[in-house]
Amino acid sequence: MNLDKLIESAEQRLIEIEAEMTQPDVLSDRRRMTSLAREHRRLKELFDIHEQIDKTRREISETEEALNDPELAELAEVELPDLKNKLELLESKMRTLLVPEDSEDSRNAVLEIRAGTGGDEAGLFGADLFKMYQHYFEQRGWSYKVVNGNFSNLGGVKELLISVTGDGVYGRLKLESGVHRVQRVPTTETSGRVHTSAATVAVLPEAEEIDVKIDQSDLKIDTFRSSGPGGQHVNKTDSAIRLTHLPTGIVVTCQDEKSQLKNKMQAMKVLRSRLFKIALEEEQSKRAAQRKSQVGSGDRSAKIRTYNFPQGRITDHRLPITIYRLNEVLAGELDLLLDPLADYFAKEKLEHALS
């Protein structure tokens, strides 16, 4: 299948979606309507980008012809690089839009940060990652809530669970799954030596009750008193919840809500998401050819990124790509890395679709 065929197929799909969205049974199905609306927006944006690409190509052709005109050549030389950069960006965006997103990409997500090797410094780096993600969520207009936090006396992260809600959250954040390594001089280091430590990030698609059925008899539920900030409430109320899923051994703890019921609801949401992720990975493992776009889907043994503070350098090892804009990335400019990653995986998917 060539590119023109893919565009033609997308046009036909748009017609089908618009017809389906008028059906009474679909109009009454909120989940189906939401899914169709997302796909409709993607296809409309695809055709808009396609028109912009055609227009930009014409402009490039006209500008290249102007290079032969003595009166216009100097201006054409200035404009041509900008037009070619614009075309490259548009083509990158079209590749992303041409290949339908995975069915889970539109879901909300549960993001987990854990300290890895490196002692206290690993926990402090985990806290830096949390701040980075907070800035990114705010830039994207996503909302988030800490489901459970376990911090060290120095303010480092031992374990942190965050529920993130917004448009296309999982599809974007799943690229963050893996081991994040940091190279810097710890604040606790008096000799000024650079240490290497790590924190792990796992991203789970948020599951709903309809996705995962949990038998209550498979659960062991423990209650205990919360630790950390909270004043008298912490000391007097057994509001914290620990869920153990007996068939899998998965343990989820939630203590950030004052209500035991709310803590249980949050813990159940995380448990469903973990079980859902296991089911997805089992399904993926059965496929004969697993696409490279699934890299970083939760394999926490994979080192995906290095943050080098002395050189202000950050390297993503999956492409690989290195940029000297560490402070900007830590301030939430994650798209500096996620955009080229998304484009790389889109190319892989597109080549698969065209083959």
Cα R_g (the chain), whole angstroms: 24
Q: Are 156 and 120 in contact (CB under 8 A)?
A: yes
Give the C-alpha separation, 39 to 45, whole Å: 10
Contacts of 215 (CB under 8 A, 6+ apart): none
Q: pLDDT tens-digit profile of 243-276?
A: 999 999 999 998 877 788 888 888 898 998 989 8
Q: Are 58 and 64 in contact (CB under 8 A)?
A: no
Higher-confidence position of 75 and 39? 75
How would you list the strands of the sheet with 143-151, edge to edge? 143-151, 157-165, 109-115, 195-205, 178-184, 303-308, 313-316, 321-323
pLDDT category at 209 given cuts 50, 70, 90 is: low
Q: Is the pLDDT of residue 118 over 50?
A: yes
Q: Is the pLDDT of residue 231 over 60?
A: no
Question: What is the pLDDT at residue 300?
Answer: 37
User: Residues of 299-331 as b/e, b for ≥16 C-beta within 10 angstroms?
Assistant: ebeeebbbbbbeeeebbbebeeeebeebeebbe
Correct CATH for 216-285 of 3.30.160.20, 3.40.640.10, 3.40.50.720, 3.30.1540.10? 3.30.160.20
Question: What is the pLDDT at residue 164?
Answer: 96
Q: pLDDT tens-digit profile of 276-305?
A: 888 877 766 654 333 333 333 333 346 899
- The β-bridge partners of 306 are 181, 315
Q: Are 29 and 88 in contact (CB under 8 A)?
A: no
How much is the average pLDDT of 115-121?
Answer: 91
For 206-228, give the secondary structure using H, E and C: CCCCCCCCCCHHHEEEEEECCCC
Higher-confidence position of 70 and 314? 314
Higher-confidence position of 9 and 166? 166
What does the chain come to in residues? Answer: 355
State the pTM of this model.
0.70
The structural domains of the chain, with segments of one domain joined by +, span 3-98, 109-207+289-354, 216-285
Q: pLDDT tens-digit profile of 134-186?
A: 999 999 999 999 988 888 888 899 999 999 999 889 999 999 999 999 999 98
pLDDT category at 18 given cuts 50, 70, 90 is: very high
CATH of domain 109-207+289-354: 3.30.70.1660
Question: What is the pLDDT at residue 17?
Answer: 93
**Structure tokens given for 153:** 């006396």
Per-chain mean pLDDT for the chain = 85
Question: What is the pLDDT at residue 355?
Answer: 65
Q: pLDDT tens-digit profile of 185-199?
A: 987 676 788 999 999
Question: What is the pLDDT at residue 315?
Answer: 96
How much is the average pLDDT of 221-242?
Answer: 66
